[in-house]
Amino acid sequence: MLGPVILAASRSDRMRRMISAAPGTKQVVDRFIPGETVDEVLPVVRDLTARGLELTMDVVGEDITSPAQAEAARDAYLELIDRLKPLELGTRAEMSVKLSMFGQALDGGHELALKNVRPVVEAAAGIGTTVTLDAEDHTTLDSMFAIHDELRADFPQTGCVIQAYLFRTEADARRLADSGSRVRLVKGAYKEPASVAYQQKHEIDKAYVRVLKILMDGEGYPMIGSHDPRLISITQELARRAGRKPDEYEFQMLYGIRGDEHLRLAAEGHRMRVYTAYGTDWYGYFMRRLAEKPANLRFFVRSMITK
Ligand code: FAD
């Protein structure tokens, strides 16, 4: 019940101002977002890779309001890539981007987002790594998939995300499960209407397994973005049935969530990529993490009261 309320608050400017200024917020934010600058996040990159983990890095931000902000987002990723270069991590550190941060919702947004994201994909390829386009709310997805197609024409390794809760996703998965594709499957983190998305957890979980099967039986590279222990076991079983070796798919989890499981799966010989977000515009990302687990909200409220 609380999840949808928190997701609605994630789009409210008033709540953004209140929560950002509240005492105790930073302590809870730090659990999910380990830094505001490249300098703060690079030690985390070194630490995680030294433990056998891989990363996908997100400069947090979304719902920008001017082309200048979209260019600033592009430049923030270019700076990150430049700073990653000497570490020579290749695909062990890739990027995740939200096209809304590159201008997708502005006038002429589709072209603007493509124009701004292309140099990031080019720069990532220049250091031997890739970019994955995150999935935002359902109204943005036709544009995201079209940009993904355009980028793949020049950079075939460009990945994208599909969300199990959407009715459209099985069809998207069939289209995307071609040779060389990289597709992250997640449950979905936005507030979506019943006209386009399953609302019940058990329906979403069942849809996840159906889509997972399509990806595992396909010719692409599935990226399993979930912390759900049941789905992790099912992934291992489906991979076995599809004859996939451990390097023919990967697990992905969010920084700050089930960290022991990251290490356990990596120690078992799986590829485990940690989605590591950093930056100052953390509000939307943080609120989605609260919405996913009401216990986070209780912890958050307690930390505000005890400050
Ligand atoms: P759940 O059933 O929600 O969680 C399973 C268990 O994991 C819970 O019982 C709990 O122990 C733990 N857990 C899950 N979430 C939390 C949390 N926030 N805090 C503490 N514990 C938690 N969504 C999108 O819509 N678009 C994207 O592009 C996108 N990219 C993602 C990338 C990655 C690598 C991951 C892991 C998720 C991404 N998501 C994205 C979020 C996703 O849609 C889900 O909202 C989120 O992963 C929670 O679902 P779950 O599969 O972990 O299962």
- CATH code of residue 127: 3.20.20.220
Q: Which of 74, 118, 152, 184 is catalytic?
A: 184
186 CB within 6 A, ligand 1: yes
50 in a structural domain? yes
What does the alpha-carbon distance between residue 184 and residue 178 come to, in Å, rounded to a whole number? 14
Note the residue count of the chain.
307
pLDDT of residue 257: 96
94 CB within 6 A, ligand 1: no
251 CB within 6 A, ligand 1: no
9 in a structural domain? no
254 in a structural domain? yes
Q: Measured in whole angstroms, how far is the alpha carbon of residue 293 from the centre of its chain? A: 17
Instruction: Tell me the best of 98, 187, 264 to mutate to test the pocket of ligand 1, counting ligand atoms within 8 Å of each CB and taking the most.
Output: 187
296 CB within 6 A, ligand 1: yes
112 in a structural domain? yes
- Residues linked to residue 274 through DSSP beta bridges, in sequence order: 55, 253
Q: CB–CB of 124/131 below 8 Å?
A: yes
Query: Among 89, 95, 96, which residue's Cα sits nearest to residue 49?
Result: 89
What separation in Å is there between the alpha carbon of 227 and the centre of ligand 1? 6
Interval 117-151: pLDDT, tens: 999 999 999 999 999 999 999 999 999 999 999 99
What separation in Å is there between the alpha carbon of 161 and the centre of ligand 1? 13
Considering only CA atoms, which residue is closest to atom 3 of ligand 1? 292
281 is catalytic: no
The number of folded domains in the chain is 1
Closest atom of ligand 1 to CA, residue 208: 51
Nearest-10 Cα torsion for 40, 257, 304, 7: 110
What does the alpha-carbon distance between residue 28 and residue 153 come to, in Å, rounded to a whole number? 41
Mean pLDDT, 10 residues at a time, the chain of 307 residues: 82 82 83 95 98 98 92 98 98 98 96 98 98 98 98 98 98 96 97 97 98 98 98 98 96 97 97 97 90 82 67
Considering only CA atoms, which residue is closest to atom 5 of ligand 1? 228
DSSP sequence for the chain = -HHHHHHHHTT-HHHHHHHHHSTTHHHHHHHH---SSHHHHHHHHHHHHHTT-EEEEEE------SHHHHHHHHHHHHHHHHHHGGG--GGGEEEEE-GGGGTTTSTTHHHHHHHHHHHHHHHHHHTT--EEEPP--GGGHHHHHHHHHHHHHH-TT-EEEEETTBTTHHHHHHHH-STT-EEEEE---S---TTTB--SHHHHHHHHHHHHHHHHHSSSEEEEE---HHHHHHHHHHHHHTT--GGGSEEEEETTSSHHHHHHHHHTT--EEEEEEESS--HHHHHHHHHH-HHHHHHHHHHHHT-
What separation in Å is there between the alpha carbon of 175 and the centre of ligand 1? 24
130 in a structural domain? yes
Q: Measured in whole angstroms, how far is the alpha carbon of residue 185 from the centre of its chain? A: 10
79 CB within 6 A, ligand 1: no
What does the alpha-carbon distance between residue 139 and residue 44 come to, in Å, rounded to a whole number? 34
Alpha-carbon distances, residue 173 vs 23, 179, 186, 228, 294 (angstroms): 43, 13, 12, 20, 30
Considering only CA atoms, which residue is closest to atom 50 of ligand 1? 226
295 in a structural domain? no
What does the alpha-carbon distance between residue 214 and residue 219 come to, in Å, rounded to a whole number? 10
Rounded to two decimals, the pTM is 0.96
Question: Which backbone phi and psi does 251 adopt, to 5 degrees?
Answer: -95, 150
16 in a structural domain? no
What separation in Å is there between the alpha carbon of 226 and the centre of ligand 1? 5
289 in a structural domain? no
Query: Among 197, 196, 264, 207, which residue's Cα sits nearest to residue 231?
Result: 207
The first and second tokens of residue 163, run together, are 């969300």
User: Which one-letter amino acid corresponds to residue 37?
Assistant: T
Q: Which of 58, 92, 118, 134 is catalytic?
A: 134
184 is catalytic: yes
163 CB within 6 A, ligand 1: yes
Structural domain boundaries, residue 217:
34-281
What separation in Å is there between the alpha carbon of 19 and the centre of ligand 1? 22
289 CB within 6 A, ligand 1: yes
What separation in Å is there between the alpha carbon of 219 and the centre of ligand 1? 25
pLDDT of residue 62: 84
